[in-house]
Structure 1
Amino acid sequence: MADDCTCASENELIQPAADGLVNCLETLNVTEHETGNEWSAAPRIVDSLVEYNANIGCYQCFLLPSDDRHKDDGYKVTNVLTAEHLRVRVAFPHVELRYHDPLDHRVDTVIWQTEIERNVDVTQCTVEPKDDHWYLRVPIRLSDKQPLGGFSSFTMVSPLELRVESYGSLSCRTCKAQLLDCEDGVKMDKVLPLPSANWMDMFDFWGAGIGAFEHIPRDDICAQRHRVLVGESYILLHASDLVAEATTVADGEGEATVALGDSAKEEREWIPLTCANCSERVGLRNVEQPDTVRLHKHVLIARHLARARVEKDLVEQDQEAEDVFGEYTIDSILSAKLLETADSDGIFRFVLTPSNDKHDCADLSSGNQGGTSALLHLQLLSWETMIKQQGSNKFRRVLKVLYGGRQSTSTIQERLPVHTVKLPPTMCLTIADRLQASSTLLPSSLRTFNRMNVGYLYN
């Protein structure tokens, strides 16, 4: 009888303990669903784009959240994400977006962060969930608002490009073949900036039509020995400073990858040059002045003298950081042309068309080939914009544009002044492809505007 009582007492003690253990396990199971790495209640940002607009003084952040929270795995998130769950924290230069769990106020998770370059007004920061992204608006302080410098600042030559030491080595970006003859070190005596492409128009304006500048030669600027003349998207060199037979005149049958000019006069004055080693188009040679060679920055590698002297003994690394022209792309040529026209003529709408009819494309905006009316319409939106992609540590200056084919333009747009820019066929297709790729940086809902596509041209 005593034994039976003892067993009953033990059962009474064990049962509550067992029930408590089950409850603990169930609690752990729920917690695993709510806070596990894979199915966390906290949202996860998979991609982002930060766009700084100097004209309005604001950082616009487009954040793409993961759709993991909407997957059906037998667990349903009961709380609906709203702007109330998100907080913006700024500790210059860091900006953080934090998530506050409405079910557990102790949970304060950083779900996205970036670094900015200007002080912001924390009280004006807002975050708004959209259909396919989150929009974070971070205005800068009034005292920090300043424009980036207008048209000329976009294509402004960097101080590094105006140093003699920066041209210790000049080579083809495609095959790394040396183009500048620097066997005995840097031969260049001076590096000088070229004036704006419309400098003669400015002389006429300053002269006010009274003949004050009639004595100034009207010819183009020619290259000089042992000097580098630096333009917005190209450099001028004397042919004698180049490695012998490093470049050859193109046969004219292939498709140029550098612009020949947007007028018949310019096309007659320059002939394409190719790298003798890889046949890549690297620049142009003046017909009347054969010693004047124009090499385009986006197909060159220019390195510092110290790097050039010991290059043979080093393993190449961080090449982009050491290349003076590393950030130049094929967009640089087009951007310089567009801004030159906008600055001098006040025209902001353009039509890109191939200069060679036999290579024309039906619709450059979609990359389709096989037609006779290749047209890509461009409209300038902003030249004071900088963007920063997720994973990047710095902002990059861009030209924000609208682009599209002939069918995308409206009647009103067709009545506005338009400037035609003739480009080599390959360059037209490359520009169209790059614009399409740049559009994918934006959320789907922001990729079109006014029946045209939104894209970026890089400096």
Structure 2
Amino acid sequence: RKFLRVLPLPSENWSDLVEEWCCHPDPFARSSLHPKHGDCFLGDTFFLLNSGNESHKSKENTRVICKRCETMLGEAASSGTIKYYFTEVIIQPAEESFSPTPRSQFVQSVVAQCLLELSSAKSTFRFTIKGDNGKTYILIWLLNSDTLLVESLGSSSYRSDFTLFEDILTPSYGSVGTWNAVKVLYQPCIQCRNKELADAWEDDMGVHPLKFPSETCLELLLILGLSTTSLPPSLRCMNSFQVRNSFCFSKK
């Protein structure tokens, strides 16, 4: 599919900013932005496309499901707009050869890139990970984004123990693997855990929400937990938050 225009969407509270900064009412302040055919609108965790087919329009928002694996890819709106989440779809030039990426590597790379871009653009370092069902799954506090992670595969026993990155980067035996990473603190919020803190973050203007499919939120929580258990017990917590040593990603 060829895109004629690829445009970033304004922030979610753009209509409120219009009311604060404009001295006259804006008739478009409360209207939605819908892509036309050939457009691609980029949000924080998703992109919007025009379905290009009037028959695909639905009366209410519906989930877009992959026919092969039955995974939720996004949502279809009644306006003919389809929302796809970055964590569920890979977009690359048609002339490039496709090489499969392990799921865990892809998820943490996408999330890390979101954290990097938002922290740089908005000076935001605290994030809530929300599902498409509206529930908060994880609280994330970004510590730094300039970490270089180095792994030396000196023995086969080490390789079998370090399970988190086993399917992410597999340099040959005895070699050194390096990749960029971000360091974060996190708190799980499933099963009403840390509810008071989650409610406080919900009302905090300095916290930015990130929305993903609920299944992906649980995947991300599992990735975080596996990383925490790979650390020595004395390094797993910091000020009641659990430590995630790194989110691996590739710089653009």
Calculate the TM-score normalised by the size of structure 1.
0.37
Question: What pairs with 1:402-417 in structure 2 (closer than 5 Å)?
Answer: 402-404=186-188, 414=197, 417=200
Counterpart secondary structure, 1:395:
strand
Counterpart secondary structure, 1:453:
strand
Moved more, 190-199 or 327-336: 327-336
Greater Cα radius of gyration, structure 1 or 2: 1
Task: Pick the aligned partner of 2:179 from 382, 386, 394.
Answer: 394
Counterpart CA distance in 2 for 1:305 and 1:353 is 31
Counterpart CA distance in 1 for 2:113 and 2:140 is 12
* Residue 239 of structure 1: aligned partner: 51
Task: Pick the aligned partner of 2:41 from 229, 246, 251.
Answer: 229
* Amino acid paired to 1:202: L
Shift of 1:392: 3.2
Counterpart CA distance in 1 for 2:201 and 2:108 is 22
Taking every aligned residue pair, what percent have the same amino acid on both sides? 18
Runs of at least 5 residues in structure 1 that lack an aligned partner in the other structure: 1-179, 181-186, 250-267, 321-325, 357-373
Counterpart CA distance in 2 for 1:335 and 1:239 is 27
Runs of at least 5 residues in structure 2 that lack an aligned partner in the other structure: 152-175, 204-208
Shift of 1:279: 2.2
Calculate the TM-score normalised by the size of structure 2.
0.61
Does structure 1 retain, via aligned residues, the 8 Å contact 2:136–2:198? no
Counterpart CA distance in 2 for 1:239 and 1:275 is 15
* Residue 31 of structure 2: aligned partner: 219
Residues 389 and 433 (structure 1), Cα distance of their counterparts in 2 relative to 1, 3 Å cut: farther
CA RMSD of aligned residues (A): 4.7
Task: Pick the aligned partner of 1:278 from 69, 75, 87.
Answer: 69
* Amino acid paired to 1:378: L
Counterpart secondary structure, 1:418:
helix
Q: Is structure 2 residue 133 aligned with structure 1 residue 355?
A: yes
Residues 198 and 331 (structure 1), Cα distance of their counterparts in 2 relative to 1, 3 Å cut: farther
Shift of 1:448: 1.0
Shift of 1:293: 0.8
Counterpart secondary structure, 2:19:
helix
Counterpart CA distance in 1 for 2:38 and 2:228 is 43
* Residue 9 of structure 2: aligned partner: 194
Does structure 1 retain, via aligned residues, the 8 Å contact 2:112–2:248? no
* Residue 378 of structure 1: aligned partner: 139
Counterpart CA distance in 2 for 1:351 and 1:234 is 14
Question: What pairs with 1:157-306 in structure 2 (closer than 5 Å)?
Answer: 180=1, 187-207=2-22, 210-211=23-24, 214-240=26-52, 270-287=61-78, 289=79, 291-306=80-95
Counterpart secondary structure, 2:91:
strand
Counterpart secondary structure, 2:87:
helix
Counterpart secondary structure, 1:355:
coil
Does structure 1 retain, via aligned residues, the 8 Å contact 2:146–2:180? no
* Residue 172 of structure 2: aligned partner: none
- 1:278-322, Cα deviation, whole Å (9 max, x unpaired): 3221111113x0x21111222222221323xxx6xxxx5x455xx
* Amino acid paired to 2:215: T
Does structure 2 retain, via aligned residues, the 8 Å contact 1:355–1:423? no
Does structure 2 retain, via aligned residues, the 8 Å contact 1:385–1:400? no
Counterpart CA distance in 1 for 2:108 and 2:75 is 15
Counterpart CA distance in 1 for 2:106 and 2:186 is 21
Does structure 2 retain, via aligned residues, the 8 Å contact 1:404–1:452? no
* Amino acid paired to 1:452: F
Does structure 2 retain, via aligned residues, the 8 Å contact 1:225–1:238? yes
Counterpart CA distance in 2 for 1:414 and 1:286 is 33
Counterpart CA distance in 2 for 1:415 and 1:280 is 28
* Residue 329 of structure 1: aligned partner: 107
Counterpart CA distance in 2 for 1:449 and 1:441 is 15
The count of corresponding residues between Structure 1 and Structure 2 is: 213
Counterpart CA distance in 1 for 2:33 and 2:221 is 32
Shift of 1:436: 0.4
Residues 431 and 303 (structure 1), Cα distance of their counterparts in 2 relative to 1, 3 Å cut: closer
Counterpart CA distance in 2 for 1:387 and 1:280 is 33
* Amino acid paired to 1:329: V
